[in-house]
Chains A and B, each alone.
Chain A
Amino acid sequence: MTLEYIVAALIILMIMGAVTALETDNLLSSIIALGAVGFLLAIAFLFLGAPDIAFTQIVVEILLLIILIRVTIHRDLKTTTAHRAMFGWTFAIVLIAFLTWFGLTVFEEFPAFGTAVMDRVADSASVTYIKEGLAKSGAGNLVTAVLLDFRAFDTLGEATVLFCAILGALAILRQKAHKHSKEKDQEADAA
């Protein structure tokens, strides 16, 4: 029961960090507030018995902060306080209200916090992984066993998506092609 309160307190701190990140005028401070959200998330993962995820989250959060600071440094740091047009606001309110209603309806079906879903399903995949993970894959860490043995194709797909995303980012950032397209644009503007 105490763990539920600890995690709830961490999530409330994350919510405060998230609101700060979105509402601060200075972009650099909002990125640092986002970093606080990420590191609190890593602490919550540690409490919830997921050390592997916590490590990954810390590494990814550091890389994310480096990338985001790289984009904002030396650039237009002040943000406009004005919001988007009225249409955007009404749309946002309707969508968030729908999300809240939908979420609360779904959560009614969930088991209470602390009772695993895998216990309610007979022969669920997770129970099999826990029972036979060591014997079948030889890995003591079951998360690794699932990632690299039982669901290795999933990891292959992950690597593919990551490769495509990085390839796309490099293609967009490449200087040579950019110059070429710039000249073309100027020609189009002139004509």
Chain B
Amino acid sequence: MIYSLCLILIGIGLYGILTKRNIVKIIIGFVIMEAGVHLLLILIGYRMQGEAPILQPGMKLSEFITRAVDPLPQALTLTSIVIGLGVLALMIAIAIRLYERYKTFDITEMRRLKG
């Protein structure tokens, strides 16, 4: 059930990307979609009564192995979040230049982009 809720979030992001005319709204849809994917990845790595995968002094390793959540999806999600910010900066830079050129964020009015 909880995975389907993530899927709804991804679907809303996709809807924004495909149907909106404002370029900032399209970027917002992209960010929403990204949030859904990150949450789905973390949910897959969770285990019931799980603890953060941080080993503290005085913890027994045998007990830690049965309780810690999966560190691998967490590490890769961390990578993905940071890359998402870099890509967003690139998209915003292009949007600013398009605005200076066409004086609008509306993609249907940018005639020269039409193929």
> How many angstroms from the CA of A4 to the CA of B2 in the assembled complex?
7
Which residues of A in the span 52-89 have a Cβ within 8 Å of any Cβ on B? 52-53, 56-57, 60, 63-64, 67-68, 70-72, 75-76, 79-80, 82-84, 88-89
| Chain B residues whose C-beta falls within 8 Å of the C-beta of A169 in the assembled complex | 89-90, 92-93
Given contacts A92-B18, A116-B70, A166-B86, 8 further A-B contacts (CB under 8 A): A19-B12, A56-B82, A64-B85, A117-B45, A125-B72, A130-B65, A146-B71, A165-B83
9 closest Cβ contacts across the A-B interface?
A165-B86, A92-B18, A114-B48, A116-B47, A169-B93, A146-B75, A142-B53, A142-B71, A103-B7
A44-B39, A56-B82, A165-B90 are contacts. A27–B68 as well, Cβ < 8 Å?
no
Say which size band chain B's interface belongs to: 35 or more
| Chain B residues whose C-beta falls within 8 Å of the C-beta of A41 in the assembled complex | 35, 38-39
A113-B46, A130-B64, A166-B86 are contacts. A71–B24 as well, Cβ < 8 Å?
yes
Asked if residues B19 and A88 are in contact (CB atoms below 8 Å), the reply is yes
